[in-house]
Each structure stands twice: as C-alpha cells, then as structure tokens.
Structure 1
Amino acid sequence: ALPALTPASDLAPRRPGAALREQLGESGAGALVRAATGVLRRHRDADPRRGALAGERSVGAELKRLTRHGWRVLHSVPLPDGTEIGHLLIGPGGVFAVSTEHRPGASVRIGDGAQRIDDGAPQPYELDGRAGARRAREALEAYCAFDVPVQTVLVFTGVTALEVAGTPAGVRVYRERGLSALAPLTGVLTATQVERVYDVARNAEAWLEA
C-alpha cells in the first residue's frame, strides 16, 4: 500500500522547473541574499538555465489552463536518479509526461528521426523511447487497480517556427499554445480514475522505485 500523504511527500505544491530553481538559487534564504546583492540581476541574461526555466514556467501556465476541463497537473516530479518528469498531466484523455525544450529564436524541423535547427544539418533525434512515460506508467500502475496509459508530450518553447513531419504512436510535439489540443481528449480515464491517479502521482513515495 502507498504510505499516507504528508506535507513532506506532497508534490502538488511543487512549481515548474524545481531543479532549475535549485541550481539557480531561486529557492530558500540564499535567493533573498543573492537578490539583495544584485547577483541574480547581473547574471539573469547570461545563464541559459534562466531561459530554460522561463520555458518551464510557460509550459506550466499553459497546462494550468487545462484544469478547467477536468485535468490535473503536477510539476517537477522527482525521480530516484535525480532527474525529473517536467510536468505530469492527468485527465479524461489519459496521462501525459510533458518535457520542455527551450530553443530561443530557432526554427525547428523534426522528421525521419532527425532534428534540424535553422539552416543547420539534420541531427539524429528520436522522439520515442523516452524514459519519462515508461517510468510514470510503472509507478502509477503499481498503486492503481487499472491500466494507466502514459504518452509523451514534447513542447518547444521560444521557437519562431516548429515543423513536425509525423510522430511515433504515443508521442505528441507542440509549441506552448498547442497544448490546448489536449483539453477535449476523453474516453481513457473516468473521473474517479483521474482522481485516483492524481492521488498516487502527487505522493512522492510512489516514485521511489520509478
């Protein structure tokens, strides 16, 4: 059985980009000290992690819009190896493990197992086989008495253009606003199942073996 939820194990309050916030010192007393001394302001534009954090916040804001359609959202789900599932979207259309790629000012084309940035040469780029969806399904089904299908969503932020020439089954690729396409999806989980999956997913104890 899953241990009871406690304030320490509840992932619901976690904000988008928690790991990046930690790396950048944007949490705890250290953030107040650095802000007071101007360190954060001096390095705000120089550190690419700030752009990545802005991308996570943008995706988090778009996912929050879906809650009015019966969806639940968690951010920065921590895994035992120190990585995170950027966002977990749970609703009538199933469960989606959402990751973000921040490519400021870039034009991106994905297709035939390759990614092309602007006018550069295509580089190998596989959309399927991402660990987030698999690990989420294993963790959630360990505590749910029903199948919990989990799909992958990859969101590109900051891009000027995104062209996707087909994706593997169970993988979706969007820009931020494209996430609205998930809102009307139904028929995978009942309302009761959505709440059960959410109750499991928000408990950090459920992810200890993921």
Structure 2
Amino acid sequence: MERVVSRLLRRPTEWDSWRKGLAGERRVGAELNRLGRHGWRVLHSVPLANKVDIDHLLIGPGGVFSINTKHHHKRAVWVGDDSVKVDHGKPAPYARKSRAEAKRVARVLERYCDFSVPVEPVLVFVGVTELKVVATQLDVRVYQERQVSALAPLSGVLTADQVEQVYGVARHRQAWSLA
C-alpha cells in the first residue's frame, strides 16, 4: 500500500532506490564479465553477514578488487581524498566504506589462502553526467562503468594458480558467513 501511495504522489521509495542500484550493478557486472578473456574471474553480489553484500569481486593477475557500485543517474559527482559529493551535496563516506570493505575481503581470503591477498577498493559510478576526481592521497580507484576495462591489463600480483585458489575460496558462501 505504501508503495502505491508513494507512486501516486511521485515520491521515491526504498524499493526505487534498490531497483536503481541493482540496474547500476548489472551494468557494471556486464563490463566486468568482459574481462574474463583477459584471465580475470568475477563474482557478483557476494553476501556477507548482516544482510550486506559486496557488489562485485574481481580476481585476476592484477590482484583482487572489491568493487562498490554507486548509481547516480544524470548527476555530477566530485571525489576528494575521503569524501564524495553528488551535485555539490552533503559529503558521503563512499571512499571510507570502500576501504573498509576491501580490508574485510582481504581478511576472509587470507584466512583460507596460504599467501598474502592484497585487495584494492574500487568505486564505480554509473550514469553520472560528470565525474571529477580531485584526490591527492586517495587509495581507492575511481571509475565510471565503461572505464573498468582499465583493470584488464594489470598483472604481476597473483599467479594463475593463486587466482584460481582465491576464486575458489571467494565462491564459497561459508567463507563469508562470519565476515
């Protein structure tokens, strides 16, 4: 009933936000799937404890990337060292949350692998009209959805056997149940 009233009054609902986010994740997922021919493995919507998930995990010769997707259709996005502003609005902690997510992923993967698994955080913005990155110290990679292909040529971090081992661990839901 609430959804019907909100629709009649043209107010966005939590459902609309979820649906928009899912559409953005699908667009990024399609771009990431194309990296398979370059030796990369992709997992989508990796479930964690407390009904949270990792939008995408990219595992390949260039390492492991924890990808957080943000869909801001027809909005301008500004990224500084530790904050993100959409249409000059209130700062959002996207970068901080992405770093925390990457650390969480590394802890899980290293628990089951017999080697160090560096995990880099990535923020991917979908549908934005402008993406301005002015960070000087940012340790989070920032892309628009069509730019994630820039990760394809990265190499020298994991061997082919390590890629398969990490991918095997990452595919098991039980590994993530306590994350």
Q: What is the TM-score normalised by the length of structure 2?
A: 0.85
1:127 to 95, 111, 116: 95
Kindly state the Cα deviation for residue 83 of structure 1 after the two structures are TM-superposed: 0.4
What are the residue-to-residue correspondences of 1:1-210 with 2, within 5 Å?
A: 47-118=16-87, 120-121=88-89, 123=91, 125=93, 127-128=95-96, 130-166=99-135, 168=137, 170-210=139-179
Is contact 1:157-1:176 (8 Å) kept? Answer: yes
Count of residue pairs the alignment pairs up: 168
1:105-130 deviation digits (Å, cap 9, x = unpaired): 10111114333323x35626462453
Kindly state the Cα deviation for residue 70 of structure 1 after the two structures are TM-superposed: 0.2
Is contact 2:81-2:137 (8 Å) kept? Answer: no
- Given residue 18 of structure 2, which amino acid in structure 1 is its aligned partner? R
Is contact 1:110-1:116 (8 Å) kept? Answer: yes
Is contact 1:127-1:167 (8 Å) kept? Answer: no
Kindly state the Cα deviation for residue 160 of structure 1 after the two structures are TM-superposed: 0.6
**1:181 to 1:167, Cα distance in 2 relative to 1, 3 A:** farther
SS in 2 for 1:123: coil
Q: What is the TM-score normalised by the length of structure 1?
A: 0.73
**1:106 to 1:139, Cα distance in 2 relative to 1, 3 A:** same
Kindly state the Cα deviation for residue 179 of structure 1 after the two structures are TM-superposed: 0.3
Unaligned stretches of 5+ in structure 1? Answer: 1-38
Kindly state the Cα deviation for residue 49 of structure 1 after the two structures are TM-superposed: 2.2
**1:112 to 1:93, Cα distance in 2 relative to 1, 3 A:** closer
Moved more, 161-170 or 195-204: 161-170
**1:133 to 1:107, Cα distance in 2 relative to 1, 3 A:** same
Is contact 1:80-1:209 (8 Å) kept? Answer: yes
Kindly state the Cα deviation for residue 82 of structure 1 after the two structures are TM-superposed: 1.4
1:44-64 deviation digits (Å, cap 9, x = unpaired): xx6232221110100100100
- Given residue 104 of structure 1, which amino acid in structure 2 is its aligned partner? H
Aligned-residue identity in percent: 57
Is contact 1:52-1:102 (8 Å) kept? Answer: yes
**1:167 to 1:122, Cα distance in 2 relative to 1, 3 A:** farther
Indicate the RMSD between aligned Cα atoms, in angstroms. Answer: 2.2
Unaligned stretches of 5+ in structure 2? Answer: none
Is contact 1:127-1:168 (8 Å) kept? Answer: no
Is contact 1:88-1:97 (8 Å) kept? Answer: yes
- Name the CA distance, whole Å, in 2 between partners of 1:76 and 1:102: 15
Moved more, 200-209 or 70-79: 200-209
- Given residue 55 of structure 2, which amino acid in structure 1 is its aligned partner? G
